[in-house]
Chains A and B, each alone.
Chain A
Amino acid sequence: MKPALYVPWLLLIFLTIATFAARTHHQTESSFWFVVPLVLAEIKISVIAWRFMELRAVSRFWIFGLGALTIVIFGILAVLQWKTGGSQ
């Protein structure tokens, strides 16, 4: 068993719990709180792509490409959320 993969797994679990906690307390935060779960999701995707999907082993093109795609996706979703009504 390689212990190295425990670290990204625990990080992903921690970020998920943090996301859930952020939702529970979002009413006391700013109306831009919705950025928090989207940013945490982007971080989680990067961790999965880098460590679990092993993009660290190949050309940087792949991690930058996937990173750029997901940043554009979450950026569009955040702008849409902001323009069409903010948080629930």
Chain B
Amino acid sequence: MTKLTTKRPLEPPGGILVWLIVVLELITFAAGAAVFIYQKGQQPSEFATGAATLNQPIAFANTLILLTGGWSMATAILSIRGNSIANTQKWLYITIATGVAFLLLKGVEFGEKIQHGATFGDDFFHTIYFALTGFHFLHVLAAVVILLYLSFALKRGRYTSSDYFDIESGGIFWHMCDLIWLVLYPVIYLI
């Protein structure tokens, strides 16, 4: 079993502010997902046509990539807690690599749609699709930038096993991208 060395019963990992962001973002994306489902009921043929153009293998691969990034991020936190700076750096790089892979695959998916003439504002399906997945794309991009900064600061000796609050907060932001995707993925691609 993994041992947690820091017990803070009332304060969540990463601090209360990042969790406020997690909750607000989840509610925001859930509202967008609800609009998607409602509009699908209003315009079933348009949404069925749009859904048929979705790239299922890329979405599936991206889900696996994000979940793997979540695992590597959690492992990075365990490593810094164990004062293994080299391992923390390695797992942060792996997490960044998963984020970049997600962004590249998502870029391919966006590119395919744009090549076929489907863009934001074309119809309800593509407007909501691009709004939700595009906004999520920006969140993953922000998470990658945050992790790049953290790995750079780690390399310069900024963090130790007793001072790693920023890495923990950055990790929660990264996991938030996972949670949001787990709301969007079934709504847009599966049901």
Which of A's residues lie within 8 Å of B, judged by CB?
1-2, 4-5, 8-9, 12-13, 16, 19-20, 22-23, 34, 37-38, 40-41, 44-45, 48-49, 51-59, 61-62, 66, 69-70, 73-74, 76-77, 80-81, 83-85, 87-88
In contact, A55 and B71 (Cβ under 8 angstroms): no
Q: Which residues of B contact A85 (CB under 8 A)?
A: 40-41, 44
In contact, B1 and A76 (Cβ under 8 angstroms): no
In contact, A53 and B175 (Cβ under 8 angstroms): yes
Contact of B2 among A2, A61, A87 (CB under 8 A): A2
Could you jot down 30 A-B contacts, CB within 8 Å? A2-B75, A5-B71, A9-B68, A9-B70, A9-B71, A12-B67, A12-B70, A16-B64, A20-B56, A37-B186, A51-B74, A52-B70, A53-B171, A54-B74, A54-B77, A57-B7, A57-B13, A58-B8, A58-B10, A62-B19, A69-B27, A70-B26, A73-B27, A73-B183, A76-B30, A77-B37, A84-B37, A84-B41, A85-B40, A88-B47
In contact, B63 and A16 (Cβ under 8 angstroms): yes
Residue in chain A with minimal CB distance to B184: A41
Within 8 A of A (CB), among B169-186: 171-172, 175, 178-179, 182-183, 185-186
In contact, A58 and B34 (Cβ under 8 angstroms): no
- Does residue B78 face the partner (Cβ distance < 8 Å to A)? yes
Size category of the B interface is 35 or more
Which of B's residues lie within 8 Å of A, judged by CB?
1-2, 4, 6-14, 19, 22-23, 26-27, 30, 33-34, 37-38, 40-42, 44, 47-48, 51, 56, 60, 63-64, 67-68, 70-71, 73-75, 77-78, 87, 171-172, 175, 178-179, 182-183, 185-187, 189-191
In contact, B30 and A41 (Cβ under 8 angstroms): no
In contact, A58 and B191 (Cβ under 8 angstroms): no
Q: Which residues of A contact B87 (CB under 8 A)?
A: 1
In contact, B13 and A69 (Cβ under 8 angstroms): no
In contact, B75 and A1 (Cβ under 8 angstroms): yes
Q: State A80–B23 Cα separation when bound (angstroms).
A: 21
Q: State A38–B187 Cα separation when bound (angstroms).
A: 8
Judged by DSSP, the binding face of A is helix
A2-B2, A84-B42, A87-B191 are contacts. A48–B175 as well, Cβ < 8 Å?
yes
Q: Which residues of B contact A41 (CB under 8 A)?
A: 182-183, 185-186
Q: State A12–B13 Cα separation when bound (angstroms).
A: 21
In contact, A88 and B75 (Cβ under 8 angstroms): no
Q: State A42–B14 Cα separation when bound (angstroms).
A: 22
